[in-house]
Amino acid sequence: MDRWLTRLLSAIALIIVVAFLTGCAPEPATTEGARVKALYDTFMVAAVVVFALVAGLIGWSIVRYRARDDGREASTAHGNIGLEVAWWSLPTLLVIGLFILTAQVLATVDRRTDDPPLTVTVTGFQWQWQFAYADTDVVLTGSTDGGPELVLPVGERIAFDLESPDVIHAFWVPQFLIKRDIIPGKTNRIELTIQEPGTYRGQCAEFCGLLHDRMTFSIRAVPADEFRTWLSQQGGGG
């Protein structure tokens, strides 16, 4: 009975490891997102190693040290300085390593430039979005029946100024792998560069009241010249 149980336990552990390995973040569409994805994958390698080690030790203890009628006595060990030093320092080293990688990627993702080629003011309101292209009159506003489609150029650094007139929202495009809260009384800015043309789904991520789930929008990323043409067609100057 117990042997059967422990085998089932180990099987579950194995399934979890495999599932963890295969489940990864979406393919990033931005250069910043690519850095985040690479960091995520590094963390995942460390996670799988740690999980396999610890779950393996637990599994081994369950299988090997199950009480049997073999006259074996339980060990009387109750401490070991060498082991304690080892397992205090190993996680410490791992944490320091992961922190250094984090700090490097954070510096890239959070980098701000003085004069990005394109600035879009994003206004999140209850319960839709308004996008305004800087230096133009082009404004896209959504309604709860459907969000606006924001057209953006590929390969150019884009700044988003995030503003809210009411409650806290969050600007999130999953395939950009970045999100930022939109806080009333404060303008947050993120900057990113889209790598791949395509249509991307975006959504408010910070719960903002009744129709939070309908606060969706989409982004269509097109080549830069196509974008300029589109912008002038919308009545935007330059």
Ranges within 101-130 binding other proteins (CB under 8 A): 102-103, 105-106, 109-110, 112, 126
User: In the complex with other proteins, which residue's Cβ is closer, 39 or 222?
Assistant: 39
**Least spacing, CB of residue 117 vs other proteins, in Å:** 21
- Residue 19, CB half-sphere, CA atoms under 13 Å: how many? 6
The reply on whether position 230 binds other proteins by CB under 8 A is no
User: In the complex with other proteins, which residue's Cβ is closer, 83 or 134?
Assistant: 83
**Least spacing, CB of residue 107 vs other proteins, in Å:** 9
CA dist list (Å): 58 to 64, 87, 108: 10, 15, 39
Residue 223 makes CB contacts below 8 A (sequence gap 6+) with 153, 154, 155, 197
Q: Which residues of 28-42 are buried (b: 16+ CB within 10 A; e: fewer)?
A: bbbebbbbbbebbee
Which residues 148-207 are close enough to bind other proteins by CB under 8 A? 166-168, 170, 172, 174-175, 177-181, 183-186, 188, 201, 203-207
Q: Among 45, 92, 156, 198, indicate the residue that binds other proteins (CB under 8 A).
A: 92
Q: Among 25, 34, 118, 132, indicate the residue that binds other proteins (CB under 8 A).
A: 25
Query: Counting beta carbons within 10 angstroms of the beta carbon of residue 195, is it exposed (0 to 12), middle (13 to 18) or buried (19 or more)?
Result: middle
**Least spacing, CB of residue 193 vs other proteins, in Å:** 16
User: In the complex with other proteins, which residue's Cβ is closer, 144 or 232?
Assistant: 144
Which residues 69-88 are close enough to bind other proteins by CB under 8 A? 71-80, 83-84, 87-88
Which residues 209-228 are close enough to bind other proteins by CB under 8 A? 209-214, 216
Q: In what order do the strands lie in the sheet with 149-153?
A: 149-153, 216-222, 198-204, 169-173, 178-182
Which residues 39-58 are close enough to bind other proteins by CB under 8 A? 39-40, 43, 46-47, 50-51, 54-55, 57-58
CA distance 161 to 190: 7
Q: Among 7, 11, 14, 16, indicate the residue that binds other proteins (CB under 8 A).
A: 16
Residue 116 makes CB contacts below 8 A (sequence gap 6+) with 157, 158, 159, 191
